[in-house]
């Protein structure tokens, strides 16, 4: 062998003839089953290949690959392993000269076939599979970085390589179940095809360029589909974790796009399959967010929301093609509900990794998809349409709640812009109690920036709130601007939410949390005053009971007011205010415990059947509160004014039960909002004329809105000449009026020297221009 090697190095032009001779001998020995000579020939070829790196090695390599192919074609496992080992040694050699005509198609096919070996002997099967994986690894190393070689990233090759690796990766549980002894563990780990397949897959994906990611990912998706591996989803998640951590970070969004496209392609598959894809998407998106997600953020949320809508339709119809199938409807509803929860969880987990500016965009995007009863967003009619609208609203608000949880934004104007807040609060006027609760929880998530919300999960009247360990910061200038712009809107919706008959304990807990968090996060003196007025107005709703609320709701409103005023009195630290609130609470404990949260917000509320004769001592009096707070610098004049919610377009557009709920007449406000007065003035009688006047005001507003619309439409559609002539006529009219005014007001004053007698003896006022007038010295400054 030493002489042969020396001869080959001395006369490299003879190398191709040496290779041809050895190849001929090996083929003959294989045919005659003389395997000892086969091993000698392959060892000689290996040593020559390792020693010789001349320009004429290409012809020698052709002979070498022909011999390796002959060994791989053999049915003998030992010859297959021998050929694979030789090929791996060859793959690790860096050639000096390129080869333009070499093909590895046979090796890809044969190595892939070896990866799926099903030999009866477990040990031999493992060795063959290991050899196949090593062979594929050698092909990848030999071709992936050489543009002149066959393109290994072509679908015809990837469709064989990737499934072969996944097939061996899939049996990792089977390999782990045969746990070896501690002394044999290192040896067994080396012989594990699953670990070798994972290493090879990571190496393959790590070498993938931007344009090759799609060809590498598509076979993974097809393999998971063909073997039904989405439903347990454990293996699918493991595969994509390997993929996401192996590829370059800037290519992450390509994998996300592939998964989104696959989810759309499987939109009619079983809910369990779609849920598995969504779970994988969730894991992959979280990993991708640490790198670069790029422009796929809104695309991902758009696809998930579209799948959510499709799932709602499937749950309503009971089938994927719109036909009703009573036999499977219940099962599909249950599966679709699981899928919807998986989508919502994915939306939340992915949004939590996004930066603030992208998260704000996602929040606005989701809110724009919520169907609302407004002029610009017509809703579906009919029973099926109403169910679809309701389910869509609930699912999208759930998604919004997931996204808003943990959202941190120093500027509330950015966190709750006007267009978003208007749409969100309009859902608070709906009859559905579940939707209203979601709106309250979403608002709490946005406003809570210091993690205080869980401290107000239960309503109580603590004598010392320091045990809550609240994190309180001074209200910033941006928060003050936000409250000046939107405070009345928030108060109004809180007030209307308190008046709902369908409220349960969770609603009152959410309302209490919202009031408390506004007081901590966004409150200045003006906001504190308005919140106190609002809670006193809620107390009047329970006392007067014009809404005919049930006893529980009235007791809950009394208890809510007591808990909040107890909190705000200790936050303001005004002794007289605290004393008044404490006195009323103590009186209630003795005489009316059903008006305190400790008796109302429990599993079995202890209520009173008669709430009509509530004495003044049990109520928080507005006059007393304004007196004690006015002495501490608060605006007592504003405190004396009862709170009255403003009428807006939302009331007319929202689906309320009667016109009495839509149009608030607010008659006899003083008597309703003054519980301390002993004599209650009789309320104004609501007659036909009163209602006609209220509706007439609405008609006038509609006419004014129509006139404005016509003016805008004229300026948008009229020809330029007509608009110019119209504006020119108005400008000339305005100019003439201005000239008249100037003539009257800027007339030169009379001369300081008095009147001058004219030639005809007539006294005449002679005017001198202002700049020529001589003023006395005392007038000069």
Question: What does the pLDDT look like over 136-157, one tens digit per residue?
Answer: 998 888 887 665 555 788 899 9
**Three-state SS for 125?**
helix
Q: Are 235 and 277 in contact (CB under 8 A)?
A: no
**pLDDT above 90 as % of the chain:** 31
* Residue given tokens 């894809």 in the structure block: 277
Provide the pLDDT for residue 225. 93
Q: Which residues contact 211 (CB under 8 A, 6 or more apart)?
A: none
Q: Which residues contact 230 (CB under 8 A, 6 or more apart)?
A: 224, 236, 272, 273, 276, 277, 280
Provide the pLDDT for residue 747. 57
Q: Which residues contact 559 (CB under 8 A, 6 or more apart)?
A: 459, 508, 595, 596, 597, 599, 600, 601
Provide the pLDDT for residue 74. 86
The string of pLDDT tens digits covering residues 91-109 is: 877 766 556 567 788 999 9
**What is the tally of helices (H) and strands (E) in the chain?**
35, 2
Query: Over the chain, what is the mean pLDDT?
Result: 80
The Cα 344–Cα 340 span in angstroms is 6
The Cα 769–Cα 381 span in angstroms is 77
Q: Give the number of C-alpha atoms closer than 13 A to the C-alpha of residue 540, restricted to the C-beta side.
A: 24
**Is 741 exposed, middle or buried (CB count within 10 Å of its CB: 0-12, 13-18, 19+)?**
exposed
pLDDT value at 304 more than 70: yes
Provide the pLDDT for residue 596. 93
Confidence grade of residue 655 (pLDDT, cut at 50, 70, 90): very low
pTM of the model: 0.72
Confidence grade of residue 669 (pLDDT, cut at 50, 70, 90): very low
Q: Are 522 and 449 in contact (CB under 8 A)?
A: no
Q: Are 530 and 461 in contact (CB under 8 A)?
A: no
Least confident of 293-307, 525-539, 649-663: 649-663
Q: H-helix or E-strand containing 106?
A: helix 105-115
More confident residue, 362 or 47: 362
- Can you say whether residue 472 is alpha, beta or left, with left for phi > 0 and alpha for psi between -120 and 50 degrees? beta
Q: Are 402 and 345 in contact (CB under 8 A)?
A: yes
Strand partners, 757: 763
The Cα 25–Cα 41 span in angstroms is 8
Q: CA separation (Å) from 332 to 269, 306, 309, 312, 342?
A: 11, 18, 15, 11, 15
The Cα 213–Cα 243 span in angstroms is 10
């Amino acid at each position: 062998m030493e002489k042969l090697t020396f001869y080959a190095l001395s006369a490299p032009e003879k190398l191709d003839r040496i290779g041809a001779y050895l190849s001929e001998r090996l083929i003959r020995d294989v045919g005659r089953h003389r395997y000892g000579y086969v091993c000698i020939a392959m060892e000689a070829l290996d040593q020559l290949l390792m020693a010789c790196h001349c320009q004429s090695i290409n012809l020698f390599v052709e002979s070498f690959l022909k011999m390796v192919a002959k060994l791989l074609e053999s049915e003998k496992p030992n010859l297959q392993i021998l050929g694979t080992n030789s090929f791996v040694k060859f793959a690790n050699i860096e050639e000096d000269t390129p080869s333009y005509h070499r093909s590895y198609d046979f090796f890809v096919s044969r190595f892939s076939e070896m990866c799926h070996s099903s030999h009866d002997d477990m040990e031999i099967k493992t060795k063959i599979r290991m050899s196949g994986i090593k062979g594929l690894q050698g092909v990848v190393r030999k071709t992936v970085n050489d543009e002149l070689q066959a393109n290994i990233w072509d679908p015809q090759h990837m469709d064989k390589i990737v499934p072969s690796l996944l097939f061996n990766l899939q049996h990792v549980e089977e390999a782990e179940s045969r746990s070896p002894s501690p002394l044999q563990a290192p040896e067994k780990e080396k012989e594990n095809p699953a670990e070798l397949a994972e290493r090879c897959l990571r190496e393959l994906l790590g070498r993938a360029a931007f344009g090759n990611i799609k060809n590498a990912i598509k076979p993974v998706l097809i393999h998971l589909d063909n073997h039904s591996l989405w439903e347990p989803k454990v293996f699918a998640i493991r595969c994509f974790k390997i993929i996401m951590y192996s590829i370059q970070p800037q290519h992450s969004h390509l994998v996300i796009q592939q998964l989104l496209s696959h989810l759309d392609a499987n939109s009619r598959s079983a809910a369990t399959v779609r849920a598995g894809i969504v779970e994988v998407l969730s894991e992959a998106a979280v990993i991708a967010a640490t790198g670069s997600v790029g422009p796929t953020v809104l695309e991902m949320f758009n696809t998930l929301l579209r799948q959510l809508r499709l799932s709602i339709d499937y749950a309503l119809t009971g089938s994927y093609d719109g036909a009703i199938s009573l036999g499977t409807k219940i099962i599909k509803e249950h599966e679709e509900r699981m899928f919807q929860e998986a989508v919502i969880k994915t939306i939340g987990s992915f949004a939590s990794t996004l930066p603030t500016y992208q998260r704000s965009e996602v929040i606005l995007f989701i809110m724009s998809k919520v169907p609302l009863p407004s002029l610009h967003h017509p809703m579906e009619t009919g029973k099926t349409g109403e169910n679809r609208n309701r389910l869509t609203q609930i699912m999208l608000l759930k998604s919004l709640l997931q996204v808003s949880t943990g959202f941190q934004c120093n500027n509330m104007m950015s966190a709750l812009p006007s267009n978003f807040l208007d749409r969100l609060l309009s859902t608070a006027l709906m009859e559905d109690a579940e939707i209203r609760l979601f709106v309250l929880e979403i608002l709490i998530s946005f406003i809570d920036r210091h993690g205080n919300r869980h401290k107000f999960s239960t309503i109580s009247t603590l004598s010392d709130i320091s045990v809550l360990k609240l994190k309180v910061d001074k209200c910033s200038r941006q928060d003050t601007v936000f409250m000046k712009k939107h405070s009345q809107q928030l108060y109004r919706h809180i007030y209307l939410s308190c008046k709902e008959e369908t409220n349960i304990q969770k609603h009152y807990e959410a309302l209490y949390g919202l009031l408390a968090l506004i007081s901590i996060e966004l409150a200045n003196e003006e906001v504190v005053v308005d919140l106190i007025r609002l809670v006193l107005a809620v107390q009047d709703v329970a006392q007067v009971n014009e809404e005919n609320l049930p006893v529980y709701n009235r007791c809950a409103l009394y208890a809510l007011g007591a808990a909040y005023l107890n909190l705000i009195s200790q936050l303001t630290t005004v002794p007289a205010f605290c004393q008044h609130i404490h006195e009323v609470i103590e009186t209630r404990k003795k005489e009316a415990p059903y008006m305190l949260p400790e008796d109302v917000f429990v599993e079995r509320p202890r209520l009173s059947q008669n709430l009509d004769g509530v004495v003044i001592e049990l109520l928080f009096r507005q006059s007393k509160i304004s007196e004690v707070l006015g002495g501490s610098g608060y605006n007592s004049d504003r405190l004396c004014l009862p709170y009255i919610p403003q009428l807006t377009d939302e009331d007319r557009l929202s689906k309320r039960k009667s016109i009495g709920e839509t149009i608030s007449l607010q008659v006899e406000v003083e008597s309703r909002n003054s519980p301390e007065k002993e004599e209650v003035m009789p309320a104004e009688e609501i007659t036909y004329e009163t209602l006609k006047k209220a509706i007439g005001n609405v008609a006038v507003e509609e006419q004014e809105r129509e006139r404005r619309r016509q003016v805008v439409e004229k300026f948008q559609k009229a020809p330029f000449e007509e608009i110019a002539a119209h504006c020119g006529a108005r400008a000339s009219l305005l100019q003439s009026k201005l000239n008249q005014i100037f003539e009257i007001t800027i007339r030169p004053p009379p001369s300081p020297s008095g009147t001058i007698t004219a030639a005809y003896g007539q006294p005449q006022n002679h005017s001198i221009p202002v700049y020529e007038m001589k003023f006395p010295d005392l007038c000069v400054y």
